[in-house]
């Protein structure tokens, strides 16, 4: 009898230990790409807050260039890219999707436009609207390091748009009139554009939306030929081969900005995979959140922006996940407040 009781006690202890082990099992870390720009920082922060507080998984972000992100997402070195902008590397994207290396999880926000901009005041004063107008007025945008040409502020080095814009500028013949300047990060581009706006100076560069500076200042978007697939095929040749000058160029295609996940994420964290499929942050909410972040001077603490979004757009994010996870996120928000 004593032996039977001892066996029962051992079994009970084993069952309790197994149950505790199951509860305490370490959850998988979810790896997000960070290619260093404002709206991505906000979207990563929103996803991170939800995943860590609602699902209990730790999250890490990995700083990468766009080509590095493409490789890492395909290889599984990262799990998620919240803003693919796949039109900027469409051939590679189509290849990897066809191979099943990663999956398109749907829209993060609708319509991500990209364009060439100048201050609206400059456009109005000198009647600058088109690419040809930029050629005729290059002296307004004079390069301080080379007075024989104007200055075009390009994407940061390592972004695919830097190569796209180089190819477009060559196709338009703007390289005869402008030097292309690329910094190492979005901050350098922002300093050049915003600094000129604050001083009332002329400035020419590439930008995109949603972004806080597009909402904070008056900009004129330069008119370009309308996007066509044939035209973009030419631009892509120049993008991939710096020795090739495209025979034509055109505006970027305006497409929704999608999320991508490595093929292994669905097995690694199926609940998070499902949440990300439903996660549509929205263009206007991102614009508003980005503008708030600038006004609040959050100093790079993007969790503050995530909290602002979650507190102000509850009707959106509560549709992305089951009620249990919703309540956990709400509780985390309440504890912060």
Give pLDDT < 70 ranges for the chain. Answer: 1-24, 337
pLDDT for the residue 287: 87
Q: Dump the DSSP string for 72-95.
A: HHHHTSSSEES---GGGGHHHHHH
Q: Buried b / exposed e across 16-31, counting CB within 10 Å, b at 16+?
A: eeeeeeeeeeeeeebb
Q: Tell me how far the alpha carbon of residue 16 is from its chain's centroid.
A: 45
Give Cβ neighbours of residue 101 (< 8 Å, ≥ 6 apart).
Answer: 73, 74, 75, 262, 263
Burial of 262 (0-12, 13-18, 19+ CB in 10 A): buried
Structure tokens at 293: 């972040």
Closest CA to 317 of 17, 68, 50, 87: 50
Alpha-helical segments (H) within the chain:
2-24, 38-50, 66-75, 90-99, 120-126, 131-136, 160-172, 186-199, 212-216, 229-240, 265-268, 270-278, 283-296, 302-312, 314-317, 323-336
pLDDT for the residue 22: 42
Structure tokens at 315: 């009707």
Torsion angle (degrees, nearest 10) of CA 97, 101, 106, 110: -70
Please provide residue 33's backbone torsions phi and psi, each rounded to the nearest 5 degrees.
Answer: -80, 140
For the whole model, what pTM was predicted?
0.81
* Whole-angstrom distance, CA of residue 65 vs CA of residue 197: 28
Q: Tell me how far the alpha carbon of residue 135 is from its chain's centroid.
A: 31
| Domains of the chain, first to last | 27-111+255-336 (3.40.190.10), 114-240 (3.40.190.100)
pLDDT for the residue 4: 42
> Residue 95: how many CA atoms within 13 Å on its side-chain side?
8
Closest CA to 63 of 53, 50, 72: 72
């Amino acid at each position: 009898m004593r032996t039977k009781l001892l066996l029962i006690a051992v079994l009970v202890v084993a069952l309790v230990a197994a149950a505790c082990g199951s509860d305490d099992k370490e959850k998988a870390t979810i790896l997000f790409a960070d290619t260093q720009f404002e709206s991505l920082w906000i979207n990563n922060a929103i996803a991170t807050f939800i995943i860590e507080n609602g699902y209990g998984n730790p999250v890490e972000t990995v700083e990468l260039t766009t080509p590095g992100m493409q490789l890492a997402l395909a290889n599984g070195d990262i799990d998620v890219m919240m803003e693919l902008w796949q039109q900027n590397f469409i051939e590679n994207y189509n290849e990897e999707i066809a191979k099943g290396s990663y999956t398109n999880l749907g829209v993060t926000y609708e319509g991500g436009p990209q364009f060439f901009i100048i201050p609206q005041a400059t456009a109005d004063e000198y009647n600058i609207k088109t690419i040809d107008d930029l050629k005729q007025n290059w002296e307004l945008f004079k390069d301080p390091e080379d007075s024989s040409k104007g200055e075009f502020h390009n994407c940061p080095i390592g972004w695919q748009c830097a190569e796209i814009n180089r190819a477009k500028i060559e196709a338009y013949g703007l390289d005869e009139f402008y030097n292309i300047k690329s910094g190492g990060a979005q901050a350098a581009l922002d300093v050049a554009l915003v600094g000129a706006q604050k001083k009332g100076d002329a400035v020419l560069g590439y930008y995109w939306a949603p972004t806080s500076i597009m909402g904070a200042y008056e900009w004129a978007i330069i008119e370009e030929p309308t996007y066509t697939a044939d035209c973009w095929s030419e631009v892509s040749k120049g993008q991939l081969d710096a020795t090739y000058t495209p025979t034509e160029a055109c505006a970027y295609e305006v497409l929704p900005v999608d999320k991508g996940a490595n093929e292994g994420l669905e097995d690694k964290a199926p609940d998070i995979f499902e949440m990300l499929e439903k996660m549509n942050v929205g263009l206007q909410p991102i614009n508003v959140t980005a503008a708030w972040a600038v006004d609040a001077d959050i100093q790079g603490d993007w969790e503050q922006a995530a909290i602002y979004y979650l507190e102000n757009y509850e009707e959106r994010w509560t549709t992305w996940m089951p009620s249990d996870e919703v309540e956990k996120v709400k509780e985390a928000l309440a504890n912060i407040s």
